[in-house]
Structure 1
Amino acid sequence: MPNHIFKSLVAATLLLIAAQATGCDELDILAGQHVVYSFPSSSHPPHELVMLTKAGLVGGVILFGVNVDPNTSQAMSVLKDAYESSPAPALLKKKTGKNVRFLVMTDQEGGQVRRIKDGEPNLSAKKIGASADPAAAGQAAGAGAASSLKRYQCNSNLAPVLDIFREAGDFTDYYQRSFGNTSQQVVGAAVPFITAQQGEGVSACAKHFPGLGAASNNANTDEEPVVLNLTLSEIRGVDQVPYVAAIEAGVEMVMASWAVYPALDQRPAGLSEKWIKGELRGRLGFKGVTITDALEAGSLAAYGDAGARGTAAAVAGMDILLASGKDVLQGEAVRLAVVQALKKELLDRAEFDAATERIAAVRSRIVA
């Protein structure tokens, strides 16, 4: 089907659902729990997103700086109320036995990367890692992040970054997003961050698996493909060490990198069964939720539109698909593509159901 026709059908479906908010079957609702939606530059979600949520088709959203202002808390309450009045909670309770809350996530890493500009952590990851007591600073940062997020009705933080930079000025070091250039430095600050934040009912997300720290200053997967020619022994012996510690500490989510690591696969890690099912779940034993980085990233230009990318990521083993282009239509395109992939048996139903269980488990533990 030509891309422009598919987009027109998505738009028509979205408008129809937003107008009627009825008639959705179980598969439509379940697929929606695997997609995180986003919306344009306002704290107030657009009407169609509210109606889709009332229909049970939206299980979570991501907020950016443009979505955060004094009205954000009230706006998120509207979305949460829409979700609670939808068929989704009852269906998820029936399927998983859990009381599943609406997911509101953001990036509150610290320093420059804070969507809540007046919130903690004030210190960047680099400053935390270089402090006199990184463990105490990491603990304070995690607790502070949780407190700041809860003020705005957020319950999930896409942090901390576990990337280990190699040289000063590398991509994650330049923006001060890395705790340090050794595994020990990163583990020492990141694990207290994770445990403190999750102890306050805000889920943490370790990123960017299997490690983006070796990316040079101008190697940005948001913009273009990035290839990291590291040996598998270096990846496992350096970059994955913080993930072992984070998994042992009970981190709820792991975000995969869009970089390519030829030592194991020629596909981006987040589209690679070898990295996700084989390495992260198989070798490291991670049993929590996997989440993609931004599906609109420039590094995925060769992998089709948002729906195709989302489906490919789901097949690779990604549980949550991040439609973060600030466009409700993007989220719907991904959800509809997942539904079609399930109906055509391109996506294994048993694996999809297992992912639903994992998502429900995390969302049952976050604050309302």
Structure 2
Amino acid sequence: MRTRSRELCRLAMTVLQPGFEGTAPPDWLRRALAEGLGGAVLFTRNLAGPAQTAELVAAMREENPGVIVAVDEEGGAITRLEARTGSSWPGNLALGVADDVRATARVARQIGRMLGAADITMDYAPVVDVNADPRNPVIGVRSFGSDPERVRRHAVAWIEGLQGAGVAACAKHFPGHGDTVTDSHLALPEVRASREVLERRDLPPFRAAIKAGVRAIMCGHLLVPALDRSPVTLSRAVLTGLLREELGFGGLTVTDAIEMRAVAALQTPEEITVHALAAGADAICVGVSSPGGESVYALRDAIVSAVREGRVPEARLAEAAGRVLELARWHAEQAPARAAAARDADEGVGLKTATAALRVIGTPGRPMLRVAPLVVEMTTRPSQAVGRATAVGVGAAIGEIMPGTVVAEVAEGEDLPDLTDLRRPVVVVVRDATRHDWIQRLLARALEVRPDAVVVETGVPGTPAGAVYLATHGGSTVSARAAARRLTAIRTQEHA
């Protein structure tokens, strides 16, 4: 009996993927890893640089060599390893607009190269949601676009690029988070599309990802009535019936973080964990753990109790743990691929692709920057998915090229700076202006005073405005620098 109890505890630990505090493994995490904890998630709070990240992962592997170390590294606005500088790689929308699948694969390979250098197992990427609603507050530029075929092609290229570098990809957020107007970090989004629309629009990228051999799929905290009245994370009809039996996915299914309000408002963490496992999830992502790890052990105990009570069949738990261990074996076998990727530096592809994604509307020859401008950046609070990432903004990027550039950040409820000095050009930088009434009002007021202003949209583009309208299709550091080079390069050509 004691042997069976220990085995159940170990299986239960195997399916958990918690986050933790600190830049070194805390004592509780080391103990849990030694007891079979199958995974852990890295966040910005854990990472201080490439050498420290590699040391952190190595310390975790000392306790459990097969631990699944996961991270959100999408490129664009969503970065953990480059959170202090902003991503060197354009995000998905920029890749979709550039529409060069070879470049997408190269970008993903370079992200894989960066993660592989730290021996990270899995990237919670790519986002393969079709951004069907431009009002979407959490997907937006994280999607390859609104065309299912384009999303499908670039999803496959991204997966092949990352996994070719020896790092597992995790396509998300199944069965599609693009047609929502609610952030699942805050509440439960509902996808009201019919099954026919889901088949035509949302599922093709996931089908293609499965065919391309994606190692993992993350389910979204979504309510999709056309599929089930239960949230996807807790739905056997979706996670087993649709994903496993109909789509034929045999890899690892992982939940989105269970502390997100979409599901946390409905059930306790323990009940979410048990129901998700029963529905067909294999790994439970837990972004926030208690300082001493008590919450992780509470989840373990809840799983063990559910098995003993018959709420989760022991075979289901063993199946889930087996998929975790299979991914660990795959990662170990990919050491030669990671070594090859380490020798394949292609850092210029980030700026090149970000530049290819720029779109300019207007008469760019005349009102472009001839002297250092005033840059007004209308800042919005980033979604919780972005975390603590701090990208170089367009104003700072222009300042790197043109000393004397003045940057004024304007938040909701604040006034515009003085724009009346006609000797200084004005650049107005916005993000997702169509989603924010206050940005639209201030932008209109700014253009009344300075109709010659250049407008730079770093989110999903809307109606063009300004003498020149430049869309970057993403808010990464590399996209900001691409925009700055474009704005100042024409100045150089005019002076030539």
TM-score higher than 0.5 here?
yes
In the alignment, does 2:55 pair up with 1:74? yes
- Paired amino acid for 1:48: W
CA contact 1:119–1:145 (8 Å) conserved in 2: no
Q: Deviations over 1:196-254 (max 9, x none)?
A: 211222110010011000012xx111111211111111111110000110000000111
After TM superposition, list the pairs within 5 Å mapping 1:58-137 onto structure 2.
58-70=37-49, 71-84=52-65, 101-117=66-82, 122-133=89-100, 135-137=101-103
In the alignment, does 2:228 pair up with 1:270? no
CA distance in 2, matches of 1:301, 1:350: 27
CA distance in 2, matches of 1:131, 1:287: 32
Aligned to 2:10: 29
CA contact 1:172–1:178 (8 Å) conserved in 2: no
* Selected match of 1:225 from 173, 182, 188: 188
Q: Deviations over 1:112-159 (max 9, x none)?
A: 0011116866101110111141x1122012211111112233121000
Aligned to 1:138: 104
After TM superposition, list the pairs within 5 Å mapping 1:182-201 onto structure 2.
182-201=147-166
CA contact 2:38–2:324 (8 Å) conserved in 1: no
CA distance in 2, matches of 1:223, 1:172: 10
Aligned to 2:177: 212
CA distance in 1, matches of 2:97, 2:88: 15
CA distance in 1, matches of 2:274, 2:149: 36
CA contact 2:251–2:323 (8 Å) conserved in 1: yes
TM-score (structure 2 length as normaliser): 0.63
Moved more, 321-330 or 264-273: 321-330
Q: Secondary structure at the match of 1:255?
A: strand
Q: Deviations over 1:297-316 (max 9, x none)?
A: 10113432211110010011
CA distance in 1, matches of 2:256, 2:99: 32
CA distance in 2, matches of 1:332, 1:113: 30
CA contact 1:157–1:205 (8 Å) conserved in 2: yes
After TM superposition, list the pairs within 5 Å mapping 1:1-368 onto structure 2.
25-40=6-21, 42-54=22-34, 56-70=35-49, 71-84=52-65, 101-117=66-82, 122-133=89-100, 135-174=101-140, 176-216=141-181, 219-327=182-290, 328-367=293-332
Measured at CA, do residues 119 and 248 of structure 1 come closer, stay the same or move farther in structure 2, by a change above 3 Å? farther
Measured at CA, do residues 288 and 132 of structure 1 come closer, stay the same or move farther in structure 2, by a change above 3 Å? closer
CA contact 2:18–2:296 (8 Å) conserved in 1: yes
Q: Secondary structure at the match of 2:168?
A: coil
Q: CA RMSD in A?
A: 1.8
Measured at CA, do residues 229 and 167 of structure 1 come closer, stay the same or move farther in structure 2, by a change above 3 Å? closer
Structure ID, larger Rg: 2
CA contact 1:119–1:148 (8 Å) conserved in 2: no
- Paired amino acid for 1:286: F
CA distance in 2, matches of 1:285, 1:183: 20
Quote how far apart the aligned CAs of 1:35 are. 0.4
Q: Secondary structure at the match of 2:70?
A: strand
Measured at CA, do residues 34 and 292 of structure 1 come closer, stay the same or move farther in structure 2, by a change above 3 Å? same
Give every structure 1 segment of 4 or more consecutive aligned residues whose post-TM-superposition deviation is greater than 4 Å.
118-121
Q: Deviations over 1:268-325 (max 9, x none)?
A: 1111011111111111111111100011110113432211110010011000011111
- Paired amino acid for 1:339: V
CA contact 1:33–1:57 (8 Å) conserved in 2: yes
Quote how far apart the aligned CAs of 1:169 are. 4.0
Structure number having the greater helix percentage: 1
Quote how far apart the aligned CAs of 1:61 are. 0.5
- Paired amino acid for 2:323: R
**How many pairs were matched up?**
324
CA distance in 2, matches of 1:331, 1:254: 22
CA distance in 2, matches of 1:74, 1:183: 40
Moved more, 285-294 or 75-84: 75-84
Q: Secondary structure at the match of 1:110?
A: coil
CA contact 2:258–2:264 (8 Å) conserved in 1: no
Measured at CA, do residues 169 and 122 of structure 1 come closer, stay the same or move farther in structure 2, by a change above 3 Å? farther
CA distance in 2, matches of 1:104, 1:232: 35
CA contact 1:120–1:144 (8 Å) conserved in 2: no
CA distance in 1, matches of 2:117, 2:38: 20
Q: Deviations over 1:2-41 (max 9, x none)?
A: xxxxxxxxxxxxxxxxxxxxx981111111110002102x
Aligned to 1:91: none
Identity of aligned residues (%): 29
Measured at CA, do residues 292 and 311 of structure 1 come closer, stay the same or move farther in structure 2, by a change above 3 Å? same
CA distance in 1, matches of 2:265, 2:107: 38
Q: Secondary structure at the match of 2:113?
A: helix
Runs of 5+ consecutive residues of structure 2 not aligned to the other structure: 336-496
CA distance in 2, matches of 1:132, 1:269: 31
Quote how far apart the aligned CAs of 1:326 are. 4.2
CA contact 1:37–1:58 (8 Å) conserved in 2: no
Aligned to 1:18: none
Moved more, 247-256 or 62-71: 62-71
TM-score (structure 1 length as normaliser): 0.84
- Paired amino acid for 2:129: D
